[in-house]
Structure 1
Amino acid sequence: MVMATFKNVGIHRGLAVVLLLALASCWDEAAGTNNIPPSGFVRTRNTQFVVNGSPFLFNGFNSYWMMNVASQPSERHKVTDVFRQAAAAGLTVCRTWAFSDGGNQALQLSPGVYSEPVFQGLDFVISEAKKYGIRLILALSNNYHDYGGRAQYVNWARAAGVPVENEDDFYTNAVVKAYYKNHVKKVLTRINTFTRVAYKDEPTIMAWELMNEPRCQADYSGKTVNGWIQEMAPYVKSIDNNHLLTVGMEGFYGDSIPDRKQYNPGYQVGTDFISNHMIKEIDFATIHAYADVWVSGQSDDAQMTFVQRWMTSHWTDSRTILRKPLVFAEFGKSKKDPGYSTTVRDSFLNSVYTSIYNFAKNGGTLGGGLVWQIMAEGMDSYFDGYEIVLSQDPSTTNVIAQQSNKMTALEHTLTVPL
């Protein structure tokens, strides 16, 4: 049924990508892998990412579930499958979680107490990424309740008798902040049981992210979150100065430049894209965009117009005010949206990818994009509507692979400013 949506040339390209994925699988089984492990840490120079002094552009993806799945050795083949297929489609950066606080299959069982089997799952993820030449952006905590998040940190403090009121105390309470710092130190100094390399010394890791989509209902100005970043960013760098660091923001504007709030989808979430990224230890900026949620009820064209405006404003600010690289770290098209079809999703991704390419071409400030999200076969219980299974979605895989090729070709034309 999917193949029926192809136009003539699309059929051949789509089949070619599927064939490439099959060949990659055969090569992997027969000879290990034909991918080169990442060498050299990703750095920044002005508004560009660089590796070993050369420009670094990328096409990438999100697979938040990897550590959780890999904590069960019998399920690790799903992580391997995704990395193998992603590498075959030219994807070179993966964003995933380095946290799971309390609850089922937790990494951090309680403050300072960790599950070795789950940690070994994360070890496996890093070692497999290395094997397939894919760099990782690892998020250290979550704004939401999923996998614990800052609510779990506050609950731990409350259970210990600390006078905390709500989840926003995560950003200000000394005990809670100490819990978070302990987690940072534990993860960054972890010795990988597969590679025997400390995480902080592993070039396969591209960057750390302080939190997935931080928000603060107690203070919409962005100042409370800013104070937290000002404390945590230097702490991370004091342990690990090899890796890049970002906040993990969606891109909402706050009070520092009031006129920028016109670009928000009608509301604020307690962050400030400008001031939060101006902190010197933060190496690059990120944005996310879910127009189907943020400006729901509008037409596909209107939602795409919002996304284009969102990208343009943040690219401009990253280039002229922050003077740091920008990553479009989450975007996707949900199967749950009214009028969804594979053709609609492919068109949406094409539009986003074209913008990313054009912005990257115009100076390199936008280093790449990370689609949400790629999963393996047999992961239906994880599906959220945005899932892409590369082996089962040939037309979408073709769109992704074409973007990978374009970004790689563009990378070779850029020069690094002195």
Structure 2
Amino acid sequence: MTLSRRHLIAAAAALPAIGAAKAPTPPKGFVTVKDGRLSLDGKPYRFAGTNVWYAAWLGAPAGYGDLGRLRRELDRLKAMGVTNLRILGAGEQSPAKVAMDPTFRGPGEDYNADLLKGLDVTLAEMAQRDMKAVIYVNNFWDWSGGMPAYLNWVGDGPWFQQGDPAYPWPQYADYSARFYANQKANALFRHYVTSLVSRVSTVTGKPYRDDPTIMSWQLANEPRPGGSDAFGQSNMPAYQAWIRDTAGLIKRLDNQHLVSTGSEGTMGCMGLESCVIDAHAPPVIDYMTLHIWPNNWGWISMTDQPSTYEAGEQKCRDYVAQHIALAKRLNKPLTIEEFGLIRDGRQFTPGSPTTYRDRFYKTMLDLALADMKAGGPTAGVNFWAWNGEGRAQQPDAWFKKGDKSYVGDPPQEEQGLFGVFDADASTLAVIKAHAAAVKALG
């Protein structure tokens, strides 16, 4: 039977339009972006989180590993309502005195099987507790090797470590930021990233790309275009291209997970909103990140918190508001994935007074909660950082290579400077109350 053109049009109208086919449903359990907000299984994804960069070290089947402690720490966090962990999935051998050792890799392709297994174990343990992971794969700072280690391997020198008095700030930042334009260094980096993102877990047998425990791959911890205005501006094209290219590589390897930058915001972007916008506008970047460090940025004095706290807190409030506005402009979610404050009197011991820290935590957590309630872009927070039952092993609280009682304060800082111990009852109460409030939002 031959149909007329009129009959064909009528028949076509009765069928679903091919061009308007329903978008594929995301796999169950994967965090996605919907309408500029994080989403999980059709509902808003909101979280209370922390940083546990050392998780893979605890999970490693090696002398420095401690699976029992890893499980205890995860149980403590879960009991507090913490469900999102930002962890380190990379680390490069470095001659820096305050760098981690062992690390995931050296200049060759013989990556550390124990640490990779430790990451497998961590993700499997997190899955059992319904937690999500943000895994960062490089570091602007040299405490884990990071970008300076890559530059050192390819002979882009002279190499020097952060804090070297012979190379005062901003020389370190300008040096580290040379990484983005160094093709030999990036070839080494891309090989590792490809290997990691394509990895199959030795614990679950599941490819990482199919594991919903991972929320996001993150390009680096606090990538910056540079330190000085002159170098940072000239290096900006290389910085922005590196973000696009690295995120694009990860998306080609794994199109099921989110990708984020690890940026601090304008304070890590030459103070420029345009730098932040350009870094987060590409479609391969799924959400904005924000870090807040009032002590390190000179907003609240390390030696006189009481008289400088009020003005510093207001700057932090303004900083959060500024970046919420930027996220709205981009119509992308926002996570406040690092913030911290020192203890009263710059002490390091567990249980010592945290008057201003507790106030600061409550302020930051309340700002995030208010934006969540208002339907804003803020999805969650990750305080820096979880020390748990870890303790400084040296009398001066400085980390030494071989120490195994890992804490959230990295080797470049005194152990206990910013981290939250399991004995910090008042701070734990603030975090627990916030987590309950976030959960109550549904």
Q: 1:378 to 1:289 in 2, by over 3 A?
A: closer
Q: 1:243: which partner in 2?
A: 257
Q: For the Cα contact (< 8 Å) 1:349–1:399, is it kept in 2?
A: yes
Query: Aligned letter for 1:99?
Result: A
SS of the equivalent of 2:87 reads: strand
Name which one, 1 or 2, has greater alpha-carbon Rg.
Answer: 2
Q: 1:232: which partner in 2?
A: 246
Which stretches in structure 2 are left out of the alignment for 5+ residues?
1-26, 95-100, 158-173, 302-306, 394-406, 408-414
Query: Aligned letter for 1:67?
Result: A
Q: 1:95: which partner in 2?
A: 86
SS of the equivalent of 1:241 reads: coil
SS of the equivalent of 1:64 reads: coil
Distance 1:151 1:190 in 2: 25
Q: For the Cα contact (< 8 Å) 1:219–1:270, is it kept in 2?
A: no
Q: For the Cα contact (< 8 Å) 2:344–2:353, is it kept in 1?
A: no
Q: 2:219: which partner in 1?
A: 210
TM-score (norm. length: structure 2): 0.76
Q: 1:132 to 1:97 in 2, by over 3 A?
A: same
Q: 1:64 to 1:337 in 2, by over 3 A?
A: farther
The reply to whether residue 174 of structure 1 matches residue 171 of structure 2 is no
Distance 1:378 1:53 in 2: 38
Q: For the Cα contact (< 8 Å) 1:142–1:149, is it kept in 2?
A: yes
Query: Aligned letter for 2:336?
Result: F
Q: How does 1:224-373 map to 2 (within 5 A)?
A: 224-252=238-266, 268=271, 272-294=275-297, 295-297=299-301, 299-319=308-328, 321-335=329-343, 341-373=353-385
RMSD: 2.4
Percent identical: 26
Q: For the Cα contact (< 8 Å) 2:139–2:223, is it kept in 1?
A: yes
SS of the equivalent of 1:110 reads: coil
Distance 2:248 2:345 in 1: 41
Distance 2:336 2:244 in 1: 23
Distance 2:57 2:392 in 1: 15
Q: 1:307 to 1:227 in 2, by over 3 A?
A: same
Distance 1:225 1:219 in 2: 9
Q: 2:421: which partner in 1?
A: 389
What's the offset of the Cα at 1:371? 0.4
Q: 2:110: which partner in 1?
A: 113
SS of the equivalent of 2:382 reads: strand
Q: 2:304: which partner in 1?
A: none
Distance 2:143 2:126 in 1: 24
The answer to which of 138-147 and 379-388 deviates more is 379-388
SS of the equivalent of 2:357 reads: helix
The reply to whether residue 141 of structure 1 matches residue 138 of structure 2 is yes
Query: Aligned letter for 1:359?
Result: D
Distance 1:241 1:225 in 2: 23
1:344-393, Cα deviation, whole Å (9 max, x unpaired):
22111111111100011111410010000112314324424111123x12
Q: For the Cα contact (< 8 Å) 2:290–2:336, is it kept in 1?
A: yes
What's the offset of the Cα at 1:81? 1.4
1:174-206, Cα deviation, whole Å (9 max, x unpaired):
221211111111111111111111111110010
Q: For the Cα contact (< 8 Å) 1:200–1:242, is it kept in 2?
A: yes
The answer to which of 151-160 and 328-337 deviates more is 151-160
SS of the equivalent of 1:194 reads: coil
Query: Aligned letter for 2:386?
Result: I
Q: 1:184: which partner in 2?
A: 193
> How many residues in Structure 1 have an aligned counterpart in Structure 2?
357
SS of the equivalent of 2:140 reads: coil
The reply to whether residue 201 of structure 1 matches residue 210 of structure 2 is yes
Q: How does 1:66-105 map to 2 (within 5 A)?
A: 66-71=55-60, 72=62, 74-103=65-94, 104-105=101-102
Query: Aligned letter for 1:57?
Result: R
What's the offset of the Cα at 1:276? 0.4
What's the offset of the Cα at 1:140? 0.5
Q: 2:398: which partner in 1?
A: none
SS of the equivalent of 2:266 reads: coil
Which stretches in structure 1 are left out of the alignment for 5+ residues?
1-37, 255-263, 413-418
Select the structure that is richer in helix. Answer: 1
Distance 2:132 2:243 in 1: 24
What's the offset of the Cα at 1:39? 5.2
Q: 1:398 to 1:167 in 2, by over 3 A?
A: closer
The answer to which of 346-355 and 234-243 deviates more is 346-355
Q: 2:147: which partner in 1?
A: 150
Query: Aligned letter for 2:417?
Result: G
What's the offset of the Cα at 1:150? 0.4
What's the offset of the Cα at 1:399? 0.9
Query: Aligned letter for 2:308?
Result: S
What's the offset of the Cα at 1:67? 1.5
Distance 1:329 1:336 in 2: 23
With a CA cutoff of 8 Å and minimum separation of 6, indicate the structure with the bigger relative contact order: 1
Distance 1:49 1:244 in 2: 10
Q: 1:78 to 1:155 in 2, by over 3 A?
A: same
The reply to whether residue 59 of structure 1 matches residue 48 of structure 2 is yes
Q: 1:172 to 1:330 in 2, by over 3 A?
A: same
Query: Aligned letter for 2:438?
Result: M
What's the offset of the Cα at 1:330? 0.1
Q: For the Cα contact (< 8 Å) 2:90–2:138, is it kept in 1?
A: yes
Q: For the Cα contact (< 8 Å) 1:59–1:370, is it kept in 2?
A: yes
